[in-house]
Amino acid sequence: MPRAAERLDNGNTLVALYSQNQIVELNPAGKVVWTVSNMNSPMTVQRLGDGHTLVCQYAARRIVELDAAGKIVWSQQWEAPLYHAQRLENGHTLVADNVGWKEIDGRGHVVQQKAEAGIRAIHRNKE
């Protein structure tokens, strides 16, 4: 059950497989070229500029950043079920949960937030 996919600059596709608890990268022929297991219900996935991968984990209620080897290099635990996470150009992370949305800095401090029940995904456009 894929929940999110992102086409990468190299032509590959990064996919969050919710039911399989995996993140996979597929080449244009459909061959798996990178995978990380034990992702605990990944909802969204984003490849970052430095090659790391940001994953929003619904069941674990956390956001993780993985390096190219699949090792967690940053994580943020969350109180509410998570639906979406997106890294912004300023290094902050935009998060949607069952309460609303929050923008957090690298230390997990809330920079801004808005209560908005029923929100499932958010995207902040480049300004």
For 27-51, how does the pLDDT look when each residue is reduced to its tens digit (9 = 90+)? Answer: 999 999 999 999 999 999 999 999 9
pLDDT at 6: 95
pLDDT at 121: 54
Q: Is the pLDDT of residue 2 over 50?
A: yes
Burial of 16 (0-12, 13-18, 19+ CB in 10 A): buried
Sheet (strand 13-17) strand order: 2-7, 13-17, 22-26, 32-36
Give 51-108 pLDDT, tens digit per residue: 999 999 998 999 999 999 999 999 999 888 889 999 999 999 999 988 888 999 988 8
Query: Model confidence at 25, in pLDDT bands (50, 70, 90)?
Result: very high
pLDDT at 119: 58
Residue 31 Cα to chain centre, angstroms: 22
Contact 42/23 with Cβ under 8 angstroms? yes
Contact 15/26 with Cβ under 8 angstroms? yes
Contact 35/64 with Cβ under 8 angstroms? no
pLDDT at 100: 87
Eight-class DSSP state of 120: -
Identity at 81, one-letter amino acid code:
P
Query: Model confidence at 127, in pLDDT bands (50, 70, 90)?
Result: very low
Sign of CA dihedral 15, 16, 18, 24: positive
